[in-house]
A = this chain, B = another copy of it.
Amino acid sequence: MKYVIVGGVAGGASAAARLRRLNEDAEIVLFEKGEHISYANCGLPYYIGNTIEERKKLFVQTPVSFGNRYDVDVRTLNEVTAIHRDRKVVAVKNLHNGKEYEERYDVLLLSPGALPVVPPVPGVDLPNIFTLRNVADCDRIKAQAVQLLEEQAEAVIVGGGFIGLEMAENLQKIGYKVTIVEKAPHILTPLDWPMAAIVQQHLSEKGVRVLAGNGLAAFEERDSKLHVILEDGTSLPCQLAILSIGVRPNVQLAREAGLAIGEAGGISVNQYLQTSDESIYAVGDAIEFPHPVTGKPYCNFLAGPANLQARIVAMNMAYPESTPYMGSVATAIAKVFDLTAASTGLSEAALQRAGISFQTVIVHPAAHATYYPGGSPMSLKLNFSPEDGQVLGAQAVGKMNVDKQIDAISLLLKHKGTIYDLIYSEHAYAPPYASAKSPVMFAGMVAENIMAHLMNPIQAADLDQLIDSGEEFQLLDVREIKEFKSGTIQGAENYPVDELREFLEDIPQDKKTVVFCEVGLRGYVASRILMQSGFENVYNLIGGMRTYRLVGKHNVKPQ
């Protein structure tokens, strides 16, 4: 049996190793057009920022060490240029010497990865505009970043996704003043605005400028300096620019070979990661696969799923149709200075696109017991189905323990878990690690209160709409007087929750009533008191002032 693998980074190298462990006698040839295999792709921004100091740390395996251990014929700087499916051969170009040759396969695995999106704007070919995808890109950026660094040097990051934010932090770390440009209304689009707003504020506090809702129009060179020109005409002079708009599946080889390409633009595979040719499999960033929640194919561009696919595809290449892949819910995370931002499943925008109805809660629990030193609050947003409570997506931002919440929800998402599963989750609790109720339990409990009609939620944006509409309603700030005076929402009256019962007769029962507190808990208690005291139409502001302060339009400043 002869296995040929195209691409030696995450997916390809892992699959080769597993294939060898499954079949000591097979011939395995691994082609990689770059110099390196199995390197630390996700570490590249941190090498640029000197967080990772030694370049050699990026290389998990060398072609020689990997070849020896797994008895694999590793051919770096050898590019596969065509697949001749009729003859079951691949055409290869040896980049060392330019020679072309063919290699026969019994079973072929494609792991060609993704390519950075380079927008066709004027000036995109000017010098000092970079994309970051592999070690060569990284070396290039690092060398130029060092050379171009001067007093007041500026860098512009085009695209405020996870990688863009990592690059922003690392370029600032080596001395650049950084601006992030994002065409969408806010950065970090896998997160909904109330969560992304926390990150955006943190970036500002750290001295990173964020220009959202303003796309890239062109690059220009003026007075021998690079300028990034935005759609609204803003011109950003800079030493260097990073394009981190996104990536697209690298499907050229597959397409030219006549393999099916799917609706999301990735290589089509079945549940065994087999392409439309039964002798050819594919994994990683180049494929598309149905999302476990929506059922619709998408490309996720994440290292974790690529590694898992590698293991699964090796099983199927050795034992056909033995091991189904079940898809990814797109769980992702990034460090953004002192914050961690993470998401799993579907955002509001993604749910709207998929036509799935949802309800949402935002909680701001402590990362661990408040009485134990060193804690800090986090914000967690949970999107769920109002019909059956199925968890649809979640996002969290905070200084610690954010990863743990998202991992737990990710696990449930893959099993079509519900908010009740969140409530019944059992976490390891001691004061240094957690509170007796974990953030995910807490979010689940709030969601259950909505499902059980114990509480009617209103989102910050909907409250703003209500205020703007001029419709008559009453707005009750149920925090302490001191808090009320430190800033509230336009039109709010103050009835501290612990005294609310005494004032019930002073408040009209037949009006629509919106209550709020700092994070939502006292608002919930207040709304229970009101709902059980004859008030007909009571809503509690989700996320409370802590969310509204960031995203609301009718903040009233401290008196």
A498-B68, A501-B71 given; A428·B344 CB < 8 A: yes
Contact check, B426 vs A533: say whether CB atoms are below 8 A apart.
no
**For the complex, what is the distance from the CA of A434 to the CA of B498, rounded to whole Å?**
44
Q: Indicate with 1 or 0, residue by residue over A369-408, a CB within 8 angstroms of chain B CB atoms.
A: 1111100000000000000000000000000000110111
CB distance from A216 to the nearest CB of B (A): 25
Q: Is A84 an interface residue (CB 8 A)?
A: no
Other contacts beyond A21-B528, A46-B372, A335-B430: 5, CB < 8 A: A43-B371, A53-B373, A302-B429, A304-B427, A414-B424
CB distance from A151 to the nearest CB of B (A): 29
Q: Is A303 an interface residue (CB 8 A)?
A: yes
Contacts of A407 in B (CB 8 A): 404, 407-408, 425, 427-428, 438
Of the candidate stretches A244-252, A323-331, A348-356, A467-475, the one touching chain B is A323-331
Contact check, B404 vs A445: say whether CB atoms are below 8 A apart.
no
| Cross-chain pairs A/B with CB under 8 angstroms, 6 sampled | A24-B532, A42-B430, A57-B370, A166-B430, A307-B437, A335-B432
Copy total for this chain? 2
Interface residues in chain A, defined as those with a beta carbon under 8 Å from any beta carbon in chain B: 10, 20-25, 40, 42-43, 46, 51-53, 57-58, 60, 65, 68-71, 162, 166, 302-308, 311, 326, 328-329, 331-335, 340, 342, 344, 369-373, 403-404, 406-408, 410-412, 414-415, 421, 423-434, 436-438, 441, 445, 454, 497-498, 501, 524-525, 528-529, 532-533
Contacts of A404 in B (CB 8 A): 403-404, 407
Contact of A445 among B24, B311, B424 (CB under 8 A): B311
A427-B304, A497-B69 given; A21·B311 CB < 8 A: no
**For the complex, what is the distance from the CA of A404 to the CA of B331, rounded to whole Å?**
15
A21-B454, A22-B454, A371-B52 given; A428·B411 CB < 8 A: no
A57-B371, A335-B432 given; A329·B40 CB < 8 A: no
CB distance from A122 to the nearest CB of B (A): 34
Contact check, A415 vs B415: say whether CB atoms are below 8 A apart.
yes
**For the complex, what is the distance from the CA of A52 to the CA of B166, rounded to whole Å?**
35
Contacts of A71 in B (CB 8 A): 501
**For the complex, what is the distance from the CA of A454 to the CA of B23, rounded to whole Å?**
11
Contacts of A410 in B (CB 8 A): 425-428
Contact check, A415 vs B426: say whether CB atoms are below 8 A apart.
no
Contact check, B331 vs A427: say whether CB atoms are below 8 A apart.
yes
Contact check, B329 vs A426: say whether CB atoms are below 8 A apart.
yes
Contacts of A10 in B (CB 8 A): 436
**For the complex, what is the distance from the CA of A14 to the CA of B181, rounded to whole Å?**
47
Contact check, B369 vs A40: say whether CB atoms are below 8 A apart.
yes
**For the complex, what is the distance from the CA of A497 to the CA of B407, rounded to whole Å?**
35
**For the complex, what is the distance from the CA of A302 to the CA of B82, rounded to whole Å?**
61
Contact check, A308 vs B424: say whether CB atoms are below 8 A apart.
yes
**For the complex, what is the distance from the CA of A370 to the CA of B58, rounded to whole Å?**
9
Contact check, A372 vs B51: say whether CB atoms are below 8 A apart.
yes
CB distance from A188 to the nearest CB of B (A): 13
Contacts of A406 in B (CB 8 A): 428
**For the complex, what is the distance from the CA of A295 to the CA of B386, rounded to whole Å?**
33
CB distance from A169 to the nearest CB of B (A): 11
**For the complex, what is the distance from the CA of A329 to the CA of B498, rounded to whole Å?**
37
CB distance from A7 to the nearest CB of B (A): 15
Contacts of A437 in B (CB 8 A): 304, 307-308
Contacts of A60 in B (CB 8 A): 371
**For the complex, what is the distance from the CA of A437 to the CA of B69, rounded to whole Å?**
20
**For the complex, what is the distance from the CA of A29 to the CA of B421, rounded to whole Å?**
31
Contacts of A408 in B (CB 8 A): 407-408, 411
Contact check, B305 vs A426: say whether CB atoms are below 8 A apart.
yes
Contact check, A303 vs B373: say whether CB atoms are below 8 A apart.
no
**For the complex, what is the distance from the CA of A70 to the CA of B335, rounded to whole Å?**
40
CB distance from A231 to the nearest CB of B (A): 30
Contact of A371 among B58, B308, B329, B532 (CB under 8 A): B58
**For the complex, what is the distance from the CA of A497 to the CA of B430, rounded to whole Å?**
42
The 9 closest A-B pairs by CB, nearest first: A24-B532, A333-B428, A57-B371, A21-B528, A304-B429, A404-B404, A307-B436, A68-B498, A303-B436
Contact check, A333 vs B403: say whether CB atoms are below 8 A apart.
no
Contacts of A433 in B (CB 8 A): 333, 335, 340, 403
Contact check, B51 vs A428: say whether CB atoms are below 8 A apart.
no
Contact check, B426 vs A331: say whether CB atoms are below 8 A apart.
yes
A335-B432, A415-B415, A421-B415 given; A426·B528 CB < 8 A: no
Contact of A411 among B21, B24, B411 (CB under 8 A): B411
**For the complex, what is the distance from the CA of A498 to the CA of B430, rounded to whole Å?**
44
Smallest Cβ-Cβ distance to A324: which chain B residue: B424
**For the complex, what is the distance from the CA of A423 to the CA of B65, rounded to whole Å?**
26
**For the complex, what is the distance from the CA of A423 to the CA of B406, rounded to whole Å?**
17
